[in-house]
Amino acid sequence: MLVLASCGEGDGKAGIPATTQTGVLLDAPVSGVFFESRDGVSGLTDNAGQFDYLRGDRVRFWIGDIELGSAFGAPFITPVELTGSADPSAQAVVNQLIFLQSIDEDENLANGISVSASARSAAAGQTLDFESATFLDDLDDVVAAIAPGNIIVSDIDALAHFYQSYAAVGCSDTLNFQFPGFPACGTEFELIFADEFSGPNGSQPDPSIWNYDRGYGPNNFGWGNNEWQLYTDSPDNVRIEDGNLVITALCPQAPCGVRDGSITSARLTTNDNFEFRYGKIVARIRPPTGQGTWPAFWALGANFVGGSSIPNQQWPRVGEIDFMEVFNNTYNSPAQANIARRSATSAMHWCDERLAPDPNSNCFVQGGRLFVSDALVLDDPLDQDFQIWEANWTEDEVTVAINGTEYFQLDIDPSTMEEFRREFFLLLNVAVGGTLGSGQAPPQGDETFPQTMLVDYVRVFQEADDGPDDPPADPPVLTLVSIFSNNADPTQATAGDTVTIAIIADRPLIAPSVTIGGQGATGISGGGTVWQISRTLDGSEPAGELAFTIDFSDLDQVAGEQVTATTNGSSINVIVP
């Protein structure tokens, strides 16, 4: 059991008959809360959050005039029981967690939650409805009155802290509920990203997290898939409603055509805002299953064209992980439609560098694109209720499960799949038509709109580093370094000539830092183990052998020894006219 010393008052329990039981009021142990049972056992929870009760009795908790709720006496009572919920992420539960954590006397949840005597006194005459739609507005006034100066805890932090306490006391083996959307017990995880989409109704998603892709994609070709829809940032297509992200594909007036503006939808990304490598990715989604729709929750390599990672590269060389796709290509038969609406699909796409070695080439055109996909057919259509997708991405494999049932697994081969050892960003969208939405068929006229995807939350966890640091890894090594120019004689260069350094490493690298002739080289291309770096000479370079430096690190940021000479003996002689 988690027993944390809590700051504040000492044992406030009244004298109790010896036949009573002892329980703990838990977020972290919460001290200084009034309790009273139906049989008259009463007092304040003590420094360990403990209260007393008689077996089979119901216990009520409150702070001043703020009622937390009541529950049958048990070894642990939490806001889940007090609000009458079975789900820790229910809004009333989260609201009560926010309230308790926001009034902690020293604002240090690591030593428990302590409600001071002054806070209890100030709470007299205060009310707070944890079910109210105006809870957060009301909370501002209540916290200002009973814990002036305290910062109100976010819903994400409140839920993450509660999960830590829940895991510490034995999870569902001890408490009578499970914690959907969070890792199972047995492994220490830290929540590194979450969006619960808890903004006001009608508001836009958090702009510090989400970007919008707009239009029809490069070359107006339906985002590479011949999709029909125009992506927008209109609130008609994307907004917050009732604690969910709502993405809606619309065609307000027939006929609904292909890339003529009649069909609109939305695609959101975390590119440049949140990028990560490895972790547990969890999302609770209710996808649409209307004919022709193609909803997805997925990830792309952070060096995808348009982001700030250098060098930018095209798909599929950046790598793609599809956590959730639903292909409502239901045009062929009623039987096919029935299966499609019940099928959850996951996939991975990448470029095999052996088949398309030139980092500047189009891997797809060269036939180097590889992919693996798998699906699970559920009993009911996916749009009948929310489903929980959970992916585990490590340096060795990716697995995906829906509602606890694993249906996708792929080992990561480091020799051909180094894309999946880099950082990725997240995407959410509802496409319509195209390769997997309609099998390339045009609209048939019987598609129905609107088609809406609801997203309750997206969370990313990573394993906590609770052990000693790993010993330093062996540094990366450049197995080939070659320098040449575009001069008629590639061993010579003069002002206006471009000098290129080509390198091959013994493992994938992040973009190297290179100087040529004392100046930084900015023409960087490649990826993984193969890179090319170039600079055009400006005439400031002295005559003679051209100097250069190469600084480089692997994907774990282990640095190699700086290189200042080629491995094949090549060199450039600068000619000054």
Q: Which pLDDT score, from 0 to 100, does residue 3 have?
A: 30
Q: Which pLDDT score, from 0 to 100, does residue 368 have?
A: 76
311: pLDDT confidence band, cut at 50, 70 and 90?
A: low
Whether residue 198 contacts residue 236, with contact meaning beta carbons closer than 8 Å, is answered with no
Whether residue 508 contacts residue 318, with contact meaning beta carbons closer than 8 Å, is answered with no
Q: How much of the chain exceeds pLDDT 70, in percent?
A: 92
Task: Say which residue, 528 or 492, is predicted with more confidence.
Answer: 492
- Rounded distance, CA 337 to CA 439, Å? 13
Which residue type does 516 have? Answer: I
pLDDT at 83 over 80: yes
Question: Residue 88: is the preceding peptide bond cis (ω within 30°)?
Answer: no
Arithmetic mean of pLDDT, 3-17: 39
Question: Which of 213-227, 238-252, 306-320, 359-373 has the least mean pLDDT?
Answer: 306-320
- 459's enclosing H/E stretch is strand 451-463
Arithmetic mean of pLDDT, 296-318: 81
Q: What 3-state DSSP class applies to 263? A: coil
Q: Which pLDDT score, from 0 to 100, does residue 193 have?
A: 93
Q: Which pLDDT score, from 0 to 100, does residue 5 have?
A: 29
Range 193-463 classified under CATH 2.60.120.200: yes
Q: Which pLDDT score, from 0 to 100, does residue 466 have?
A: 42
Six token digits for residue 443: 């609209």
Tell whether pTM > 0.85. Answer: no
pLDDT at 8 over 50: no
187: pLDDT confidence band, cut at 50, 70 and 90?
A: low
Residue whose C-alpha is closest to residue 35's, from 54, 17, 19: 54
Whether residue 27 contacts residue 93, with contact meaning beta carbons closer than 8 Å, is answered with no
Highest averaged pLDDT of the listed ranges 197-201, 225-229, 507-511:
225-229
Domain with CATH 2.60.120.200 in the chain: 193-463
Arithmetic mean of pLDDT, 18-42: 86
Question: Which of 264-273, 385-394, 439-448, 523-532 has the least mean pLDDT?
Answer: 523-532
Report, at the CATH architecture level, how domain 478-574 is classified.
Answer: Sandwich (2.60)
pLDDT at 468 over 90: no
- 136's enclosing H/E stretch is helix 135-146
Other beta carbons within 10 angstroms of residue 198's beta carbon come to 19
Other beta carbons within 10 angstroms of residue 1's beta carbon come to 12
pLDDT at 6 over 80: no
Beta-ladder partners of 393:
279, 398
pLDDT at 451 over 70: yes
Cα distances (angstroms) measured from residue 237 to each of 202, 246, 291, 319, 518? 11, 8, 18, 28, 51
Arithmetic mean of pLDDT, 16-21: 62
Cα distances (angstroms) measured from residue 309 to each of 257, 258, 277, 305? 36, 33, 14, 9
Arithmetic mean of pLDDT, 205-213: 96
Domain with CATH 2.60.40 in the chain: 478-574
